[in-house]
Amino acid sequence: MSIPDAHIEIPARVRDLAGRAAVTPVWRNGIGGLTFRTDDGRYIKWGPLDDEANMHDEAERMRWARRWITVPEVLAQGEDDAHEWLVTRAIDAFSAVDTRWDGKAEIAVPAVGRALRMLHDTLPVADCPWEWSVHWRVSNAAERGVVVPPELQEAPPIDRLVVCHGDACMPNTLLDAAGEPAAHVDLAALGLADRWADLAAAAMSTGWNFGPGWEDPLLEAYGVERDDERLEFYMRLWNET
């Protein structure tokens, strides 16, 4: 994922959704999806249809999660034969990998750990209608033609069943101006799973975004002792699916 060039061509659908508002590109994902910020307080996500984590699922999950935690308000969602889009109301906060946190991993990383713990402690397991279990992820991968190694098709015993974020990488936690947890975004895979499924993704992401040495501070801020067996399993599962 990266920040796109400011002069990128704006898709026609995005221009239609923006109306009279000016748009600024802010994010490009690995499959060519783009996110734009409008000058009237909205974000517009647009990209190719995605079998793994689609925007219809994301809108549905955000509407559900918003009853308990801070996530963007969904304003519109749709798709055509080739692309999908999602419009949300902007939140006054900044991604944990925003340039304002450059050189400030000691602020951003623990904040993500605390934010993830609050999400896990707050979202109600009994009310969650979706799963993100190992079985579900292996099946989803198979539908996309991805074969998961046999040793990753049986998970370690569940440490704690929670409603997982599903993509708990650093960019998907928003922090306020003081560096405190403010909100979560990109919830298309939200569902029930062992908390280590989220912790593994978040821990790996500290290295991608801030370099080595930040896994343990993230886990300490979350409030859990390092579990190498579960970390290794769920890191490998992430990379294989």
Q: Give first-to-last CA distance, the chain, whole Å.
A: 17
Chain Cα centroid distance, residue 160: 20
β-bridge pairing 34-38 and 23-28: antiparallel
Mean per-residue pLDDT for 218-241? 97
For residue 156, CA distances in Å to 35, 133, 162, 166 come to 36, 12, 15, 18
Average pLDDT rounded to a whole number, residues 39-48: 96
- The full DSSP string for 142-184 is HHTTPPPPGGGSSPPPPS-EEEE-S---GGGEEE-TTS-EEEE
Average pLDDT, the chain: 95
Q: Which domains does the chain have, with CATH numbers?
A: 12-89 (3.30.200.20), 94-240 (3.90.1200.10)
Give the side-chain half-sphere CA count within 13 A for 158.
Answer: 14
3-class DSSP assignment, residue 192: strand
Cα-Cα-Cα-Cα torsion 44, 49, 50, 54, nearest 10 degrees, comes to: 50
For residue 175, pLDDT beyond 70: yes
Q: How much is the pTM?
A: 0.93
Active site residues: 167
Q: What three-state secondary structure class fits 62?
A: helix
Lowest mean pLDDT among 24-28, 89-93, 191-195, 206-210: 24-28
pLDDT score, position 31: 80
20 token code pair: 């009279």
